[in-house]
């Protein structure tokens, strides 16, 4: 499976925001539910604009939602 | 399966059937010694018609049947997520790139047969073959990207 080196806390943040559903988040940021699922499974790295929109929904800084794992820490 | 994935499956099925029909007709023509320009260009017309109309009809039919099945199973109105977001656009672009690459290789190979003394009809037959094949490969590539991520 192809996974991205960009990790995210979307699932946790959804849980802490009144157990927001994937569909609700998808509607708020203007993407499909499948895209939210793909991001949560680290199968898709969003664009910078979408990343900011997600951070805005949760009212947290971008780095609290997304983090970058450099290649050398994977090994 | 998402709306976009369903569309890809429909297109993939349609183009695979078209490819099978095309190869079958070409082999029939070659065997019966009727591999002429008139017959080949008539086949091109049929293929183009099937590709456009077949895909539209199959897509509409699939979504209607899918909606009915969903309603019967869950007793809820079907929710069609027909927006195309950035991930869908990215996957479509990657698929288009694959289609262009394969069709370019195919056209080059078709031209090569002409260079090596085959008739122009063989070249024309191969061009449409590689065109449809490129579409099939691109759809498989897109489905793979939806499933495995990128």
pLDDT digits (tens, 9 = 90+) for A16-34: 999 999 999 999 999 999 9
pLDDT of residue A57: 96
CA distance B29 to B31: 6
| Contacts with B38 (C-beta within 8 Å, 6 or more apart), sequence order | none
Q: How confident is the model at residue B70 (pLDDT cuts 50, 70, 90)?
A: confident
Say yes or no for a CB contact (<8 Å) between B149 and A41: yes
Q: CA nearest A41 in B: which residue?
A: B149
What pLDDT, in 10s, does the model give residues B24-52?
999 999 999 999 999 999 999 999 999 99
Number of CB pairs, chain A paired with chain B, less than 8 A apart: 47
CA distance A60 to chain B (A): 23
CA distance B5 to chain A (A): 10
**How far lies A4's CA from each of A38, A66, A69, B57, B141, in Å?**
10, 12, 9, 37, 18
**Most A CBs within 10 Å, among B87, B91, B92, B143, to test the A interface:** B87
User: Is a pLDDT exceeding 80 seen at residue B21?
Assistant: yes
Classify B95 as helix, strand or coil.
helix
Averaged pLDDT, A39-49: 93
pLDDT of residue A73: 55
Say yes or no for a CB contact (<8 Å) between B149 and A3: yes
Closest CA to B18 of B61, B60, B63, B48: B48
Q: CA nearest A45 in B: which residue?
A: B150
CATH T-level topology, domain A6-58: 434 Repressor (Amino-terminal Domain) (1.10.260)
pLDDT of residue A45: 92
In chain A, where the domains are located: 6-58
Contacts of A43 in chain B (CB under 8 A): 148-150
Say yes or no for a CB contact (<8 Å) between B150 and A44: yes
Say yes or no for a CB contact (<8 Å) between B85 and A44: no
Say yes or no for a CB contact (<8 Å) between A38 and B87: yes
CA distance B31 to chain A (A): 46
pLDDT of residue A18: 92
User: Is a pLDDT exceeding 70 seen at residue B132?
Assistant: yes
Residues A29/A14, Cβ–Cβ less than 8 Å: no
């Amino acid at each position: 499976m192809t996974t991205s080196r960009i990790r995210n806390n979307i699932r946790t943040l959804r849980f802490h925001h009144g157990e927001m559903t994937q569909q609700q988040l998808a509607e708020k940021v203007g993407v499909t539910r499948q895209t939210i699922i793909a991001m949560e499974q680290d199968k898709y790295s969003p664009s910078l604009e979408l990343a900011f929109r997600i951070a805005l929904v949760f009212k947290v800084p971008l780095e609290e939602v997304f983090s970058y794992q450099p290649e050398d820490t994977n090994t | 399966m998402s709306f976009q994935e369903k569309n890809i499956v429909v297109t993939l099925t349609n183009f695979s059937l078209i490819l099978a029909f095309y190869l079958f007709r070409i082999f029939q023509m070659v065997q019966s010694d009727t591999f002429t320009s008139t017959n080949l260009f008539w086949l091109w017309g049929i293929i183009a018609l099937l590709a456009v109309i077949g895909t539209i009809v199959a897509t509409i039919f699939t979504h209607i049947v899918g909606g009915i099945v969903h309603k019967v199973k869950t007793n809820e109105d079907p929710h069609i997520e027909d927006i195309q977001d950035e991930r869908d656009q990215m996957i479509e672009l990657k698929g288009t790139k694959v289609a262009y690459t394969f069709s370019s290789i195919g056209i080059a190979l078709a031209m090569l047969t002409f260079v090596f003394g085959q008739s122009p009809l063989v070249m024309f037959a191969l061009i449409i073959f590689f065109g449809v094949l490129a579409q099939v490969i691109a759809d498989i590539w897109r489905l793979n990207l939806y499933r495995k991520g990128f």
